[in-house]
Structure 1
Amino acid sequence: MPNERLRDALLRNGFSLEQVADATGVDQKTVERWITKGRTPYPKHRHKIAAMARESETYLWPDSVAPERKAETAAAEVVQVFPHRNVIPVELWDRLIKEASGTVEVLVHAGLFLVERPRFVKDLTAKAAAGARVRLLFGDPSSDSVALRGAEEQLGDGTLASRIRNALAFYRPLVRVNGVEMRFHDTTLYNSIFRFDDEMIINTHVYGFQGAHAPSLHLRRLSAGDLFETYSESFEAVWNLAKPATF
């Protein structure tokens, strides 16, 4: 069975069979079999290819890593646990935003706290101009899921929808920026996700609590890890269900 994930990752990053063969020290026919036949490379080759393609080994070869190692690596992917999102140091947000160069992905209802940072929208514009892919997912203010979350957080009727609309006013300058895509989702938001290249902040959601008061995880992606990849795939699933944002 062909390894379509590997094929896509190599094409997306512009790597030819020859380049992969040179990097791993094997012949092109072997690389071709890894793709078309779904053969699994040796660990040293998997690690090299995963680094080249900026993907995890567990994403490219889901069955290649033993469950015990996945569990150990997942624990290592957790850099820090914060009891509440609002105690995450400003310096950490600043560093993540500043250093991101390839991928910025945000899944929220409103994300209003981000645009309280004076340069956030300008930073996203600059990163997109430099070639980064910026994808922002907001809750659809007219959706039932937003109304339900507002009720669960005891915010008052229409408060969360209004908060989303307020946030969108700040994000409006990004509408025509090449490299920036924004969509509305109406899914149940189990976690807010903030990805900056190979690091993430996961703001878990707790029934009855607003996001700022719920726990958060700081994750760093590891090649053989599974935790970072799980949240990345979750973002992708919501993105694929979402519709273009309207302002």
Structure 2
Amino acid sequence: MPNERLGAAMAAGGWTYNGLADKVEVDPKSVERWVNLGRTPRRATATLAAETLGEDVHALWPALRQARPARAVSPELVALYGQRADVPVSAFADMLAQANEHIDVLVYAAVFLHESYPRLNDVLRERAAAGCAVRIAVGDPDSTNVQQRGAEERFGHGIESRCRLALMHFRPLAEVSGIEVRTHATTLYNSIYRADDQVMINAHVWGVNAYGAPVWHLRRSGEGGMFDTYTRSFDAVWEIATPVSEG
């Protein structure tokens, strides 16, 4: 089927098959097939041809609007779990214990960590003593967003109680050198557990408790990837979180 839009654009600009072919460095027969047979050139060639004609590439070749195939696997993806309950608690603990520079935790409560790994505070103290910067942000139990999450997950005041319990667990660390503990009142789209260049992301799903929502384990691979997206998110929340004292 002829590409009438392309033929009209060429005619309006006085372009011949040979002229456009020379400009985009293809055989004139290729340009003829674009017009008369409706063939679609490679994206880079089509883009150059459209720029030459002063047209929108997608107007000339609508097929190029189709999204490029997604990568089957991101180079940053270490593992994907259907729900947090599938992740061994040791995976979180081991990752944090291996950190040398950064530990960042952004949650509402995550009391499963202390319940399943009683030495968590000791590990955090040890990492801080070794020079690792530790930042812990837990949900403010009195905040509207925490209370709303409880209603959405049909957990009621339970989530508020768990936030208070998490704060009780982490509060003794507030005065430890190298460790900061804060509370936040933000909408929590994902819980973040970062250790140096690795991070566990517990995605949140409306109406589903965190233990039933997916987790992806990422390892940083260059700048501007998913890992950096989540660490920037943590930093943004940290800036507006409220410091906790030991008292």
TM-score (norm 1): 0.68
Supply the distance in 1 between the matched residues of 2:164 and 2:200 (Cα, whole angstroms).
23
Counterpart in the other structure of 2:22: none
Counterpart in the other structure of 1:105: 104
CA contact 1:147–1:161 (8 Å) conserved in 2? yes
SS in 1 for 2:154: coil
CA contact 2:171–2:181 (8 Å) conserved in 1? no
Unaligned runs of 5+ in 1: 1-70
Supply the distance in 2 between the matched residues of 1:139 and 1:73 (Cα, whole angstroms).
35
The amino acid that maps onto 2:210 is G
Report how far residue 89 of structure 1 moved. 2.4
Question: What percentage of residue pairs aligned between the two structures are identical?
Answer: 45
1:141 equivalent to 2:138? Answer no
CA contact 1:74–1:226 (8 Å) conserved in 2? no
SS in 1 for 2:142: coil
Report how far residue 98 of structure 1 moved. 2.1
- Rg comparison, structure with higher value: 2
1:200 equivalent to 2:199? Answer yes
The amino acid that maps onto 2:236 is A
Give 1:1-247 correspondences, 5 Å limit.
75-116=74-115, 117-156=117-156, 158-245=157-244
Supply the distance in 1 between the matched residues of 2:89 and 2:139 (Cα, whole angstroms).
25
The amino acid that maps onto 2:139 is G
Supply the distance in 2 between the matched residues of 1:191 and 1:113 (Cα, whole angstroms).
16
Let me know the Cα RMSD of the aligned residues: 1.7
Supply the distance in 2 between the matched residues of 1:129 and 1:189 (Cα, whole angstroms).
30
Aligned residues: 176
Unaligned runs of 5+ in 2: 1-69
Supply the distance in 1 between the matched residues of 2:97 and 2:84 (Cα, whole angstroms).
19
Dislocated runs of 4+, deviation >6 Å = none
After superposition, the Cα gap between the structure-2 partners of 1:198 and 1:113, relative to the gap in structure 1 and judged at 3 Å, is same
TM-score (norm 2): 0.68
Q: Which has the higher contact order (CA 8 A, sep 6+)?
A: 1
CA contact 2:174–2:244 (8 Å) conserved in 1? no
SS in 2 for 1:75: coil
Supply the distance in 2 between the matched residues of 1:223 and 1:81 (Cα, whole angstroms).
20
